[in-house]
Chains A and B, each alone.
Chain A
Amino acid sequence: GESVGLHLPTLSVQEGDNSIINCAYSNSASDYFIWYKQESGKGPQFIIDIRSNMDKRQGQRVTVLLNKTVKHLSLQIAATQPGDSAVYFCAENQAETSGSRLTFGEGTQLTVNP
Chain B
Amino acid sequence: GAVVSQHPSRVICKSGTSVKIECRSLDFQATTMFWYRQFPKQSLMLMATSNEGSKATYEQGVEKDKFLINHASLTLSTLTVTSAHPEDSSFYICSARRTVNEKLFFGSGTQLSVL
- Decide if the interface of chain A is mainly helix, strand, loop or mixed: loop
Chain A positions 75-114 with a Cβ under 8 Å from a chain B Cβ: 89, 98-107
Cα distance, A6 to B39, chains bound together (Å): 9
Residues on the B chain within 8 Å of A44, using CB: 44, 93, 95, 106
A43 x B6 contact (CB < 8 A): yes
Residues on the A chain within 8 Å of B57, using CB: 98
Known: A3-B42, A8-B41. A46 touches B49 (CB 8 A): no
Which B residues form the contact surface with A (CB < 8 A)?
A: 1, 4, 6, 32, 34, 36, 41-46, 49, 51, 57, 91, 93, 95, 100, 103-109, 111
Which A residues form the contact surface with B (CB < 8 A)?
A: 2-8, 34, 36, 41-46, 49, 89, 98-107
A-B CB contact pairs (8 Å), 20 listed: A2-B45, A2-B46, A3-B45, A7-B41, A8-B41, A8-B42, A34-B104, A41-B91, A41-B109, A43-B4, A43-B106, A43-B107, A46-B105, A98-B57, A101-B46, A101-B49, A102-B46, A102-B95, A104-B44, A106-B42
